[in-house]
């Protein structure tokens, strides 16, 4: 899947998320990149910013936090478009949860890791 089609798939999956999950996002942008520089390119997503629970350190004029979805890792992990959509959905929920201050251990307990 080329970059444009994958980006559209990510947009579609963002649109499918519940409003109460995305309405609280403040100063966050979503970015699609081909691959991560970390973890041998196997990282599916990354939250780069200050969690809502840490925003007391957050200043005026801060650059937006970023939720990054890595295209090549998703394509390598999925055999078809249905599984790709499921994995992108899970990645988006996982990274948005980090914005709200939910750590990987809790996400694992909830089945989102």
CB 66 within 8 A of CB 28: yes
Q: What is the mean pLDDT of the chain?
A: 90
Residue 46 has pLDDT above 90, yes or no: yes
pLDDT for res 108 = 87
Could you give the CA distance from residue 4 to residue 32 in angstroms, rounded to a whole number? Answer: 10
Residue 63 has pLDDT above 90, yes or no: no
pLDDT category, 59, cuts 50, 70, 90?
Answer: low
Give the DSSP per-residue string, the chain. Answer: --HHHHHHHHHHHHHHS-HHHHTT--SEEEEEES--SSGGGT--EEEES--GGGGGG--TTPPPEEEEEEHHHHHHH-SSHHHHHHHHHHHHHHHHHHHTT--HHHHHHHT--
Q: 108, 106, 98, 96: which is closest to 18 by C-alpha?
A: 96
pLDDT category, 38, cuts 50, 70, 90?
Answer: confident
pLDDT for res 57 = 60
């Amino acid at each position: 899947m080329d970059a444009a089609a994958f980006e559209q798939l990510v947009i579609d999956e963002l649109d499918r998320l519940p409003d109460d999950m995305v309405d609280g996002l403040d100063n966050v942008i979503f970015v699609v990149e081909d691959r991560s520089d970390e973890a041998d390119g196997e990282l599916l997503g990354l939250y780069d910013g200050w969690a809502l629970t840490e925003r007391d350190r957050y200043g005026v004029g801060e650059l937006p936090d970023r939720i990054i979805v890595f295209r090549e890792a998703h394509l390598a992990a999925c055999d078809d478009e249905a599984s790709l959509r499921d994995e992108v959905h899970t990645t988006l929920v996982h990274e948005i949860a980090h914005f709200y201050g939910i750590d990987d251990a809790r996400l694992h307990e909830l089945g989102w890791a």
